Amino acid sequence: MECGIAGIAGGVSRMGRASCLSAQAGLILLCLGHPLEAGAYTPTTAPNGAAVRWVGNPKLNFAGNPQNQRGFAAEELRASAVRGLQRWQAASGGGVSFDYWQGTDPSIYSPNSDYNGLSSIYFASAQSGSSSSTSGSLSPNVLGLTQVWYNTDTGEVLEADIVLNDRDFQFTSNVSDTSGFGTGKTEVWGGRNQVFIDNVLTHELGHAIGLSHAGGLQSTMLFMESPEQAFLSCDDLSAVRALYPTGDSGARGSLTGVVQTDTGAPLYGAHVLAISRRRGTVLASGLTDRNGRYAMDALEPGEYFIAIEPFLAGSQALPAFFSGIDPNVCSGKQTFARSFLTAAGGFKLQAVRIEARRQASAPAVRVRCTTTGGAAVVALEEASTSGSALVYDPAKDGSGFGVVDRLVAGYSSTYRMKDISGRLELHALSYTLYSPIRPLLSLYDSFGEPVDARIVDKVYVGESGFTNYDAAIVAEQLPLGDYYLEINGRSLNASLYPAGPVMLDAVPFLVVTGSMNEAAPALASAIPFNPRCRMSEAFPAYKSPSGNPPRRSTSGNDGGIGFCGQMELRGGGPPSGGPGAGAIAGWLLPWGLMIGAAQLMRQSARRRGSHLARL
Amino acid sequence: MLRRRLPRNLALLVGVSGLLAGLFAWGIAQGTTFFERPFPETIENAPIVIRGVVTGTYTDWSREPGDQRIFTFYDLQVSEVFKGEVSGRAVLIRELGGENDGIGMQVAGAAQFARGDDVVVLLGKPNPDGSHPVRGMMMGRYDILRDENDREYLAGAGLHDPGTGADRHSHDTHGDTHEKMDRDASPPRRWTLQDLRQLVREQLQLTQDKSVENPREKLVVPTTGTPASEAQQAASQLQPLPFESPVPESSDSEGEQMGLPVKLAIALLGLGALGALIFGRRSRHPK
C-alpha cells in the first residue's frame, strides 16, 4: 500500500496483521482526501499538493522546556506559549484546542526538534556545546523555527517542533520590543536585538497548525518579525477558520478567481488581497496556483475588492510546492505592478459579492505592467471641489463604492459623493497596501463647509507602538446633498512598514472605500470590527494537566498515525554520511562485554556467598 | 550505605550526561521568523560564501547519531569561492526538510534549490557528515541574474537591504515623529558579483586593520556566536580556485566517520557503567 506506509520499507511491523489491516482501511480514506485547498491564507503544502494540517479539529499537545542561558524566566515562556495557543484557539472558534506542559527534564521535555512523537518548544541556547547544525544554519537572520512533520501521503501533521533563537536575540516580555520594521525604531546593524517573545512564538505556532508565510502587512504569519505580530490579524483569523471549519462555517462564503499576465497567460504566485468594502481593510489573502487560480475560504459575507501584487518575499519563503514563482512577467523581465479589479475608467473598483454557503467567482484580473514603476493606477485628475471626480452615485453604486487613485505627497485630491444622506463611513487604505503615503481626510458639504465628522487619521495604534496609518472618517445624520472628501498625502518612511522596503510600492496610491447607511459587518462577533480584526485577549486562566505530556508513537502502533511499520532511520544517501548503527554498535560492544562480564562475576560471587551462608 | 551509593549514581550520571552531551552536540535549530539584516552584515557573518551550480539532490534522514531529522542534500559544483574555504570543487550542502520513509518535514523559509541552479550560497562550517549547512536558510541563497549591461548581480531574500537607518527619526513639518516628507521608496541596491568580491575584500581588510591596531584584542563579529576567525576568513583567491583536493571520499571504516563527541560520549558511558559496577560491588562487599 502506497498510502502511509510507503517508504518505510525495511521497518519491522510491531502491529498484528489484523490491526494493521484495520488501520490501513482507515488510512485509505485519508489518502483519498485532502487535495490542496487554497483559502484565504498560504497553506503549508506537501510536494504532492496535499494540505499539511492536523486531521479534524485537533487538540495540540506541546511540551515546553524553558532552559536557556539568557536568563529568560520559565514562567514567561509558559505564559507566552499558553497565550499563543489561546490566540489560535480563540481565532478558530474552538476548531483547535490545546494542552501545554512545561518542564526541564530533557528525557520528558526534549530540547530538540527530532521526530520523536513530542511537539517541543525550546530555546537554542539550551543545547549544550556549539552544534554544527545550529551554528551553521541558525543565523542572526533567523529568530525562530518550526519543523512540521507530516504524513507524505495524506498531509496529516504528526508533530511540530519549535526552537527559539536566543543565541542571536534577547527574548523579552515587553510588547514593544521588536527586531523588525514597523515602528521606525529598528536598529538593524549589529547588536542582539530584544524581541517580544510572543511575536515569534505565536507566528511559529501558526506554522504548527499548518500555515505558511503570508505577505499581508498586518498578518501574524508575515515572513518577517514585526511589531504587533503577536496579535492575530484579519488574515490569520480567516486562515484558521478555513483550515479547521467550525460551527459558523455555514455563515461564511468563498471566493475564486483567475489572475493573468498582461498578455493573458495564467499568472502563478500572484498575491491576492480581498479588501472588505464594509470594513475598509484587507480581510484575507492568498496565492494563485500554476493555473493562475486563487481560492479564499471562510470569508465573511459582503462585498470585496480584489488587489493583486507580486509576492515580494519570494517563493523561498514558501513551501517547495510553490517553487518557481516569478513575478517578472512583463516585457524586459520587469515585475508586474500592483493591480486591481476595476470597472470602466480604470479607477472605480469592481466589487465581488460573497454570500454565505456560496462560492463567488470573481472576474479575471489581468495585471498591468508599468514602465514607471509603482501600482498600475489611473490617476484621477481633479483636485478641487469644483472639479472633483464623482466616485459615488446611489443610482449606480448602491450602498457603497471603492476607488483607487494616485496620491502625491504634499498635494490633495478631492472626490465627490452624490446624494448622500444619513450615515457615511469612508476608509482610505494606503499603508496597509504598502503604499508609501499617509492620507489625511477632510469632509466638506456642497458649500465648501467642513462637515462635523469623526476623523481617525491612524486607524490602529497598538501597545507595541505599531501604527497603521490608514485613515477613516464617519459622519452621522447627514442631510441629503453632495459631499466632498478631500485627501492630503504625506510620505511615510519605509521603516514604518512591517517587512520594510521589500514590499513597499514605488509610487504612492490609495484605495478609498465607502459605505452608506450600512449595519456592522455580518461576522463582527467572530471577526472583531476594527482595522486589524484585533481580538480581545481576556483569555481564561489555563492550568496544565497533571502528569507528563503524552508522547505520540512514531512507529504507528498507537493507531494514531496509521503506519503499519516501524520507521527505520536508515541512510539513503552517499556513504560519506555520519556513522551508521554498525559503527555505534562496534564501539559499544567491547564496553557491553566488559560490563556483562563484571555483572556475571558479581552474581557468581553473590551466589557463592549465599551458598556459604546456608551451609 | 547512602554515601557508598552516591559514587555509583554519580558515575551513571556522568556516563549518561556524556552520552547526551555528545548527542546534543549535533543539536538543532533553524528558523522561520526572519529578521532582515543589511546584506553586508549577512556576508560578514557568513564563514563561507561560494558560487556554484546544483548538480544533484536527494533527501535523507540525518546520519548523525541521535539526530532524527530529515535533510535535503544538494551537490554543488563550485565555480568561485568568495570567502572562506571549501575542500574541493564539489561541495555537498544540506538544508532542513524533505520527505523520506513516508514522513515529511517542512520548514517555512528553508532554502530551496533545483538541479541546474547557478547560485551564490552562504554556508556554515562543515557538519560531521561532511556537508555544509546553508546559513540563514532562504537568506543564504541568491540567484544570479544579468542586468542590461550583461553584468551579473544577485537576487534573493537577503538582499532587501534596509539601509543604515540614518534618517529614521526625522520629523515632518507637522511635527509627527517617524514620518518624513521627502523619503522616496527607491528600490534596494543592486549587488553585482564584483560588488560582492569588493565587499569581502573590504571586510577582510577591515578585520586585518583592526588586528594590527589591537593585536591582543580578540576579534568579535557582531551579533553572532561565530568566531571572527572563521567568519572573517576571506577566500585566499577570489576567482575560481585550482582545487587540489576533491571532496573527501567516504571511508570504508565507519568508525572514522564518527565525530569526537560520539566517541567521547560512548567512552564516558562505558566508564560510567564500569564505575557504577565497581563502586556498587564494593558497597555490597566491604572489606
- Residue-range domain boundaries for chain A: 17-242, 252-516
Q: Is A17-242's fold the same as A252-516's? A: no
Pairing label, strands A253-260, A359-361? parallel
pLDDT at B27: 24
Residue of chain B minimizing CA distance to A220: B33
Per the structure block, which three cell numbers stand in for A423?
Answer: 450615515
Residues of B in contact with A188 (CB under 8 A): 36-38, 41, 162-165
Helix axes A197-209, A74-91, angle to 10 degrees: 50
Determine contact: A569 vs chain B, CB below 8 A: yes
pLDDT tens per residue across span B213-230: 664 433 332 322 333 333
Q: Comparing C-alpha atoms, which of A169, A364, A179, A183 is closest to residue A260?
A: A364
CB contact under 8 A, A137 and B161: no
CA of residue A346 relative to chain centroid, distance: 31
What is the rounded CA–CA span in Å between residue A71 and residue A166? 10
pLDDT at A127: 73
What is the rounded CA–CA span in Å between residue B287 and residue B282? 8
Residues of B in contact with A213 (CB under 8 A): 32, 108-109
Say yes or no to pLDDT of B236 above 80.
no
CB contact under 8 A, A573 and B21: no
Q: How far is B241 from chain A (nearest CA, A)?
A: 23
pLDDT at B45: 86
CB contact under 8 A, A189 and B165: yes
Question: For the residues B154-177, what does the mean pLDDT come to?
Answer: 46
Instruction: Give the CA angle between residues A212, A217, A219 to the nearest 5°.
Output: 45
CB contact under 8 A, B35 and A584: no
Min mean pLDDT across B73-77, B245-249, B262-266 is at B245-249
Determine contact: A544 vs chain B, CB below 8 A: no
Residue of chain B minimizing CA distance to A492: B179
What is the rounded CA–CA span in Å between residue A525 and residue A528? 6
What letter would DSSP give residue A19?
H
Question: For the residues B104-129, what does the mean pLDDT come to?
Answer: 92
User: Residue ranges of chain A with pLDDT lower than 50?
Assistant: 1-38, 129-136, 383, 557-586, 612-615
CB contact under 8 A, B107 and A137: no
CB contact under 8 A, A136 and B125: yes
What letter would DSSP give residue A53?
B
Taking only residues 483 to 502 of chain A, the set having a beta carbon closer than 8 angstroms to any beta carbon of chain B reads 490-496, 499-502
Q: Tell me the three state secondary structure of residue A208.
A: helix
pLDDT at B159: 77
Residues of A in contact with B226 (CB under 8 A): 135
- What is the value of pTM for the model shown? 0.76
What is the rounded CA–CA span in Å between residue B250 and residue B271? 30
Taking only residues 271 to 310 of chain A, the set having a beta carbon closer than 8 angstroms to any beta carbon of chain B reads none
Residues of B in contact with A182 (CB under 8 A): none
Determine contact: B168 vs chain A, CB below 8 A: yes
What is the rounded CA–CA span in Å between residue B120 and residue B125? 16
Residues of A in contact with B167 (CB under 8 A): 493
Taking only residues 41 to 100 of chain B, the set having a beta carbon closer than 8 angstroms to any beta carbon of chain A reads 41-42, 45-46, 58-70, 73, 92, 95-97, 99-100
The rounded radius of gyration (Å) of the Cα atoms in chain B is 25
Determine contact: B175 vs chain A, CB below 8 A: no
Residues of A in contact with B24 (CB under 8 A): 111-112, 127-129, 131
What is the rounded CA–CA span in Å between residue B264 and residue A404? 67
Min mean pLDDT across A379-388, B43-52, B252-261 is at B252-261
Taking only residues 189 to 208 of chain B, the set having a beta carbon closer than 8 angstroms to any beta carbon of chain A reads none
A–B interface: beta-carbon pairs under 8 A: 443
Sequence-separated (6 or more) residues with CB below 8 Å from residue B102:
A4, A5, A6, A7, A8, A151, A152, A153, A563, A567
DSSP chain B: -HHHHHHHHHHHHHHHHHHHHHHHTT-----SEE----HHHHHHH-SEEEEEEEEEEEEEE--STT---EEEEEEEEEEEEEES--SSSEEEEEEE-EEETTEEEE-TT-----TT-EEEEEE-SPPTTS-EEBTTGGGGEEEEEE-TTS-EEEESGGG------TTTT---TT--TTB-SS---PPPPP-BHHHHHHHHHHHHHHHHHHHHHSTTSPPB-TT-SSBHHHHT-B-S-SSPP---S-SPPPPS-GGGGS-HHHHHHHHHHHHHHHHHHHHHHHHHS--
CA of residue A556 relative to chain centroid, distance: 30
Residues of A in contact with B129 (CB under 8 A): 576-578
B96 close to A141: Cβ distance less than 8 angstroms: no
**H helical segments located in A333-445:** 394-397
CATH architecture of A252-516: Sandwich (2.60)
CB contact under 8 A, B187 and A506: yes
Interface probe for B, chosen from A52, A133, A186, A457 (most Cβ of B below 10 Å), is A133
Instruction: Give the CA angle between residues A206, A543, A108 to the nearest 5°.
Output: 70
What is the rounded CA–CA span in Å between residue A538 and residue A437? 34
Per the structure block, which three cell numbers stand in for B65?
Answer: 547519531
What letter would DSSP give residue A605?
H
Place of cell 515546553: A64
Q: Which residue has the higher pLDDT, A8 or B105?
A: B105
pLDDT at B94: 94
Determine contact: A181 vs chain B, CB below 8 A: yes
Determine contact: B137 vs chain A, CB below 8 A: yes
Q: How far is A419 from chain B (nearest CA, A)?
A: 34
Given CA atoms A489, A495, A498, A501 in this order, what sign does their dihedral have?
A: positive
Taking only residues 140 to 159 of chain B, the set having a beta carbon closer than 8 angstroms to any beta carbon of chain A reads 140-141, 156-158
pLDDT at A137: 52
Min mean pLDDT across A180-194, B62-76, B150-164 is at A180-194
CB contact under 8 A, B109 and A495: no
Residues of B in contact with A317 (CB under 8 A): 34, 108-109, 138, 157
**Helices vs strands, H then E, count in chain A:** 7, 25
What is the rounded CA–CA span in Å between residue A527 and residue A90? 11
Tally Cβ neighbours within 10 Å of residue A391.
23
CB contact under 8 A, A134 and B183: no
Determine contact: A1 vs chain B, CB below 8 A: no
CATH architecture of A17-242: 3-Layer(aba) Sandwich (3.40)
| CATH numbers and ranges of domains, chain B | 34-160+185-210+217-249+257-266 (2.40.50.120)
Categorize the per-residue pLDDT at B169 as very low, low, confident or very high, splitting at 50, 70 and 90: very low
pLDDT at A333: 83
Residue of chain A minimizing CA distance to B59: A573
Q: How far is B50 from chain A (nearest CA, A)?
A: 15
What is the rounded CA–CA span in Å between residue A60 and residue A544? 13
Q: How far is A207 from chain B (nearest CA, A)?
A: 8
CB contact under 8 A, B29 and A506: no
pLDDT at B33: 62
CB contact under 8 A, A494 and B185: yes
Q: Comparing C-alpha atoms, which of B121, B33, B261, B92 is closest to residue A138?
A: B33
pLDDT tens per residue across span A239-280: 999 999 988 999 999 999 999 999 999 999 999 999 999 999
CB contact under 8 A, B36 and A502: yes
Of all helices (H) and strands (E), which one includes residue A28?
helix A17-32
Residues of B in contact with A605 (CB under 8 A): 281, 285
Q: Which residue has the higher pLDDT, A323 or B237?
A: A323
Backbone angles phi, psi at A414, to 5 degrees: -130, 140
pLDDT at A312: 83
CB contact under 8 A, B31 and A314: no
A181 close to A499: Cβ distance less than 8 angstroms: yes
Q: Tell me the three state secondary structure of residue A524.
A: coil
Q: Tell me the three state secondary structure of residue A483.
A: strand
Determine contact: A225 vs chain B, CB below 8 A: yes
Q: Is the ipTM of this structure higher than 0.85? A: no
Share above pLDDT 90 across residues of chain B, in percent, rounded to a whole number: 31
